[in-house]
Structure 1
Amino acid sequence: MEPSHLTRRLKDLEDNIKQILALLKKYEDALHYEDDPRRQVKYNREIEQLRESANRYQQEYDQLHQQITGESTVQMHSVAIQLEEVNNRLDRLSAGQKAIYANINNLRQGLLAHYEAGEKNIISAITYQLNESQMTTISALLDAIEANKVSDAEMQNILPTIQEGLSILQQRGITLTGSQEEIVQVINAPQIDFKHRLKVAVPLIPFILDYEGELELGTGINLKQGLKQFMVRFIGE
């Protein structure tokens, strides 16, 4: 193969590696501030694709290393350093995400421990859409309910607030989670203990609060404000 062709291949390889480094920096910054589980999963899939690209570029480098000698060895050394940086960044991102996932999984298991076996499936589907902060908040609310820190009057007030919020969203054709219908059946069942119905309803609060539109009754009562006040009452934030 002609030396000029090898040099061109090396230059293309170097440019591709620089693009990966730029993308990794972008993902590092994005993941540092991102708390939406769905976006985190998307970023991680894209990072794994970058790892596959990095593996291909390493193979390309190894092939060129066997063929290029002389003046180009300086550039080869530069490319080798960049490849090493790519691999180090990928490893750091992977280790960081594993630690985050382990913490989220612990939070998820702690939250699910509040529920009976038959309900864990529908609640579990919701937890996969909650971030760390939301799961911590919901767990605190569940702890308060189970410790009888929520009075009967408060329960009688907050459950209808959640029901009203869901009803308004349903009228607008908005589905919050894949388990919403099953949860609505439980929280609307009069034969089920009121306290238990509230526990099942509580994980939906973040979804209602995240809805960008206004949720008001005909009386002008702001349902989202009522839910926020309830959360502040028991978690102090």
Structure 2
Amino acid sequence: MPSNFDLRLQHLEDNIKQDQALLKDYEDSLRYEDEPRRKAKYRREIDQLRESANRYQKEYDELRMQITGESNVQMQNVAIELQQMNTRLDRLYAGQKAIFENINHLRQGLLARYNAGEQNIILAITEQLNQAQMVMISTVLDAIETDQVTEQEMQLILQGIQQNITKLQQNGTALSASQAALAEVINAPGLDFKHRLKVGIPLIPFILDYEGELELGTGINLKGAWQALVLRFRGE
């Protein structure tokens, strides 16, 4: 009959193997996931695996103290698996930190384009954008600010944003507080046209998501106009 020591060791090894498999799944999910909220969920799950790894290490250390001679093969295997798990967690944390720092740099660059009264609203919007979306927005804003976008193109984009927002509201789609606040700005007739456009640009990824779900069917092809600008100024 297995001893209490053997049972604890086997249970520890089984748990580590299960968490190793979960960690692999989360690594793969983070690699291919773009949606910020789902990415945040995976990061929370990985944080829990780090806590589990710390408990496993404590359990292993307690078992190790019960051995008077050399470790048996199973103890050595558990030590290797623990080391592998901690190494993968460290590597994953380092990679996520680099990604976070890059995204934060992009976000700060976007915020700097807006006045102090708009920055909190834009911040709430950018926290829901992934890295690729922020790069696209920055690329188009650069082109607008350096007068590389024609008046006709800017009019088309702004009208497309306005029409889609109107359609969303008519369909009863509830905008977030930050989205609704930006919608008010871009529809304010007294503001500079180019400024209203710049404020509306961060809304485009959300509008295109809604457009796919609701088939808004407005008169202006906002998706086509947006993609044409992005491709042109990214040199593709």
Matches within 5 A, 1:78-227: 78-175=77-174, 177-211=176-210, 212-213=212-213, 214-217=215-218, 221-227=220-226
The CA distance in 2 between the partners of 1:71 and 1:95, in whole Å, is 35
**What are the ranges of 5 or more consecutive residues in structure 1 without an aligned counterpart?**
none
Find the counterpart in structure 1 of residue 35 from structure 2: 36
Find the counterpart in structure 1 of residue 10 from structure 2: 11
Find the counterpart in structure 1 of residue 55 from structure 2: 56
Identity of aligned residues (%): 63
The CA distance in 2 between the partners of 1:112 and 1:21, in whole Å, is 39
| Partners of 1:6 and 1:68 within 8 A in 2 | no
**What are the ranges of 5 or more consecutive residues in structure 2 without an aligned counterpart?**
none
Q: Give, in angstroms, the shift of residue 152 of structure 1.
A: 2.3
Task: Tell me which moved more, 221-230 or 162-171.
Answer: 221-230
| Partners of 1:58 and 1:83 within 8 A in 2 | yes
Find the counterpart in structure 2 of residue 24 from structure 1: 23
Q: Give, in angstroms, the shift of residue 196 of structure 1.
A: 0.3
SS in 2 for 1:179: helix
TM-score by length of 1: 0.91
SS in 1 for 2:217: coil
- Structure 2 letter corresponding to 1:215: L
The CA distance in 2 between the partners of 1:19 and 1:176, in whole Å, is 41
Report the count of equivalent residues.
234
TM-score by length of 2: 0.91
Deviations 1:154-200 (A, max 9, x none): 22222111011112122223345440111011101000001100000
The CA distance in 1 between the partners of 2:232 and 2:70, in whole Å, is 71
